[in-house]
Amino acid sequence: MSETVKKFLYVNRKAPYGTIYALESLEVVLIGAAFDQDVSLAFLDDGVFQLTKGQDTKEIGVKNFSPTYRALGDYEVTKLYVEKESLAERGLSADDLQELVWEDEDDDYAEKPSIRIIDRTEMAKLMANQDVVLSF
Amino acid sequence: MSTLHTVNKSPFETSTLKSCLEHVSDGDTILLIEDGVYGAMAGSSMADLVTAKTKAVSIIALAPDMQARGIDEDRLIKGINTTDYAGFVDLAAKNDLSHAWL
Amino acid sequence: MKFGILISEGPYTHQAADSALRFTKAAIKAGHEIDRVFFYHDGVNVGTRLSIPPQDERNLQQEWSALAKDHGVDLVICIAAAQRRGLLDENEAKRQGKDANNIADGFRISGLGQLIEMGILSDRLMTFGD
């Protein structure tokens, strides 16, 4: 089974906290990392809100899971594609997002950014070029 | 490579159908299911956007969900076809990938 | 062809579990294999044997249980999602010191790895949610 490597794309289109989808999607990504598949995450529409800086859930009683995105690099989940148009439509830019990095073993453990901003055309191509699309 | 996209939301409630239309590739299929079938109706504020895509991609509405909602086939945008659950299964098998827009 | 089915929304409130059921039946009828159905998010609530829908309504849990019995469909409920929502099998109830369990026949509780495995092993993964 482990010899099969499929391209998995996790599509995130929903904002965090209002519903549980973002958190439970992240849980799948973390578990899925153990399966050594070719994993990418796509953030578009309200999904871009999952990655914003400065989330503080103390006063709503819900667990703040935004720091977990920073751990993804340690799980070798290093490809987080964020759609430029979705950011712009929401008045956001890349500066509003957390800085996420991964360490490249093949490059003397250099820290490299995990977030890649792509446009809508590139996002469509990314979606078309997968074996499994998981959306929640 | 081609993808079967399913959309289950009314386009008048969420932007799911719009987002799907903006991310499909030529030759893909969009299957409108559940409340998604409202997006197939002619004469709505969404109709132009949907009609514009009917050349590049195949747009199909799930007939059982239309019937349940009292939508006759003659109310559909020209170029949109219908299918049943057996056809849904065939579409899923025929396309290389399935992408559910939720 | 091998299909895997992901149900990520609860029964009765959303149509997802109904659509998935109809798709699954049609796929079996067409000669396809349904390897596994994975219940996630509120979808786990399909698997409680304690639901009692009115007699003139469909009983989703029973219909899924029948598919497991008649066609060997593997019905897997996500353990993390289930624990949040009060779905327990006998072992889990004992382990957690709870006084009851509620998993219906044909369903089993397991980890999220089963979802990833389903994605790897099936030819097509179909998602029904909201």
Domains in chain B (CATH in brackets) are 3-101 (3.40.1260.10)
Across B20-27, average pLDDT? 98
Residue A2 lies in a domain: no
| Structural domain of A126 | 7-135
Over pLDDT 90: what percentage of chain C?
Answer: 99
Whole-number CA gyration radius for chain C? 14
Q: Is B19 on the interface with A (CB under 8 A)?
A: yes
**Amino acid A2: pLDDT:** 54
User: Nearest chain B Cα to A130, which residue?
Assistant: B97
Tell which of B16, B97, B102 to mutate to test the A interface (max A CBs under 10 Å): B97
User: CA of A122 to nearest chain B CA: how many angstroms apart?
Assistant: 9
- Other Cβ atoms within 10 Å of A67 Cβ, number: 9
Question: Is the residue at A1 inside a domain?
Answer: no
> In this structure, are residues A101 and A114 in contact, taking their beta carbons and an 8 Å threshold?
yes
Contact C16 B88 (CB under 8 A): no
CB contact under 8 A, A133 and C125: yes
CATH of the domain at A97: 3.40.1260.10
Compute CA distances C1 → A115, B92, C73, whole Å.
36, 10, 14
Give me the active site residues of C, please: 78
CATH code of the domain covering residue C64:
3.40.1260.10
Chunked into runs of 10 residues, chain A (136 residues) has average pLDDT values of: 84 97 95 96 98 97 96 96 98 98 95 98 98 97
**pLDDT of amino acid A4:** 80
Q: Is residue A59 part of a domain?
A: yes
Residues of chain C with pLDDT under 50: none
Q: What is the pLDDT of residues B43-61, one digit of tens each?
A: 999 999 999 999 999 999 9
Domain with C107 in it: 2-128
In a domain, A13, yes or no: yes
Please tell me the distance from the alpha carbon of residue A13 to that of residue A21, in angstroms, as a whole number: 9
* Sole residue written with tokens 């849980």: A27
Residue of C nearest to B68 (CA): C15
**Residue A52 DSSP symbol:** B
Structural domain tally of chain C? 1
- A89 and A43 in contact (C-beta within 8 Å)? no
Average pLDDT over residues B26-35: 98
Q: How many domains does chain A fold into?
A: 1
Distance CA A112, CA B31 (A): 39
- Rounded CA gap, C76 and C87, in Å? 12
Contacts of B85 in chain C (CB under 8 A): 22-23, 25-26
